[in-house]
Every structure is written in structure tokens, then in C-alpha cells.
Amino acid sequence: MAALDPRVICSTITLRHLPLAEALRLIGANGFVRIDLGALPGVCDHVPYVLDAAAVDSVAAVVQRSGLEVRSVNADVGDLNSRWDEEADAERIDHLDRLLDLCVAIGSDALVLPNGAQNNDPIDSVDSDLERVAARLIHYDRRARDRGIALWVEAPHYFRLVYTLDLTASLLDRLPDTIGVVCDSSHITAAGSTPREFLDRFGSRTRHVHLRDAEPGYIHHSIGRGVVDFEDLAKALGELGYTGDLSLELETRDTANDDRATVARNSAEYISALLASA
């Protein structure tokens, strides 16, 4: 097998159909040394949404036994653009704190959160919804930094409130520089833009990259089956001087489950070669 660039890592979302321990075993067996841990209800259940201290300890033990390093935990604490509600917000903060406990226990660098409800339409207005998202993220960022954990927001996200580059700019303008942004090739492309356009605008705020292929209006292609120009993405990252990780988040619908680990390995070799040439 060709050598992998250690910056190319694998999200457990790629193997979300498997129990966490088996997913981690296959990720390690295919040469990856670092992961993103999926904790997205309805997308990847490797971390229980009902996350108490016992659940944190259980998940942490599985990850620690794998020997894999953790770059980030990709999670969701609820709809950040929802109207203010004291009880619901307290529940979000409790969930956030348990996720931060998990990040600390497994040595994760960062916690990734989405930018709003799974709907492009605002609850009230774009501005008021963005203000609520920003206020919550700013509060969560303080709590995360108190624990030594970075907070990153995934924007744009094709299915969420902030789904375009212009909306991403509006959100980031409301956030301190301590909150990084994730460049997701599939969500950017589905909304009609390109990763280079994203990096031209937000490169200085980019802390992480998610890799999946896509086409306008659709995010679920394996790498090489959509229209994302990964060669240009690698060049743009090189020009930017980006030294962070690129995570294969292959939540795809064109690959049989039994083939997912092999597809991830092949994709990693391809991306590694592009990074070496950039």
C-alpha cells in the first residue's frame, strides 16, 4: 500500500454502520493514525446523544483502547438558532459539558458544532437567527477554552441555516477569531461554490477540512464520483500554508458497507498524492 500523508485522517462517520470498536479497528488496520469521532444523532451514533458520565467513560475507554489519536469530536447539541428557552438552553449546556468531558478524556483537540437547525429557513429572520447562533457559540467557546478545547463551527452546511458562503461570512463576522471554521468540500459544492472560493474568503479562519465528493444540490458522492476538484483544493491549501488535517467523512450512498474501509483507504492514498504534488 502507498504511504498516507498523516494529515489525511478518517472520520468514524465513514464507518457509521459498525459499532465504534469495530469501526476504529478497521480505521487503524487501513493505516490511519488519527480520527474524527462522529457524535451526530441520526447520522452517526458512535457517541450516545444521552451522554451521562457513564457513557462518556464507556466511549472514552473504547477510543483509548484503539490507540488512535483524535483530532475532533463532530457533534450536535441542538438547534442553535431556536428561540431562547431557559430550560432547553440549560440542557444544551449540560450536553456540551459532557461532550467537553469526552474531548478531554480522549485527547481531542476540538469540538465541532453545526450552525443551526436542519433547515435553510430561519425561525424568525436571518439576522435574528444568526445573532442567536453566534451568542450561543460564543458562550460555548468560552466553556470549551476553559477546558483546553477549541471550538469549530461547520459552515456552510447545505442542510442548515448557514448554507452559503455569504451566510458563512455573516456568521463569522459575529464570532471571535477563537472560533474556527471547517471547510467541508461537499457542503460548499452542493450550495454552488468551490472549496477554493471558500478558502479565498475564510482561509485564515479555517482550522479543519472535511472531504467528500458532491455536485450542486447533492452531498453524498464518494471521492471521484462528483464534481469537486480535489487537485485544486490541495493546491489552494498549499498556497494558504494550511498545516491541519483533512478528514475523510464519507457519508456516501454509492458504496456498499462492506467496501467502505477499502474506499476510505483508496481515497486517502489519492488525497495524499495530491497533497504531495501541490
**Cα 140 to Cα 9: distance, rounded to the nearest angstrom:** 26
Where are the chain's structural domains?
8-277
What CA–CA distances, in Å, run from 226 to 9, 75, 157, 231? 20, 26, 17, 13
CATH 3.20.20.150 describes domain 8-277: yes
What is the share, in percent, of the chain residues with pLDDT greater than 90?
97
Say what the pLDDT of residue 272 is: 98
Across the chain, mean pLDDT equals: 97
* Rounded average pLDDT over 193-209: 98
In the numeric block, which cell numbers belong to residue 16? 457509521
Buried b (16+ CB within 10 A) or exposed e, 92-110: beebbbbbbbbbebbebbb
Rg of the chain in Å (alpha carbons): 18
Q: Which of 150, 71, 81, 85 is nearest to 115 (CA)?
A: 81
* Rounded average pLDDT over 244-266: 97
Cβ atoms 71, 40 nearer than 8 A: no
| CB count in 10 Å sphere of residue 258 | 8
Task: Indicate if the pLDDT at residue 31 is higher than 70.
Answer: yes
Say what the pLDDT of residue 3 is: 85
Q: Residue 2 — very low, low, confident or very high, per pLDDT cuts 50/70/90?
A: confident
H or E segment and range at residue 154: strand 150-154
**Cα 20 to Cα 12: distance, rounded to the nearest angstrom:** 8
Q: Residue 1 — very low, low, confident or very high, per pLDDT cuts 50/70/90?
A: low
| Digit-coded pLDDT (tens) for 108-146 | 999 999 999 999 999 999 999 999 999 999 999 999 999
pTM value is: 0.97
Task: Indicate if the pLDDT at residue 101 is higher than 90.
Answer: yes
Q: Which of 157, 118, 151, 120 is nearest to 136 (CA)?
A: 151
**Cα 76 to Cα 180: distance, rounded to the nearest angstrom:** 16
* Rounded average pLDDT over 84-99: 97
* Rounded average pLDDT over 89-106: 98
In the numeric block, which cell numbers belong to residue 273? 498524492
**Cα 138 to Cα 268: distance, rounded to the nearest angstrom:** 34
H or E segment and range at residue 194: none
Cβ atoms 37, 108 nearer than 8 A: yes
* Rounded average pLDDT over 167-184: 98
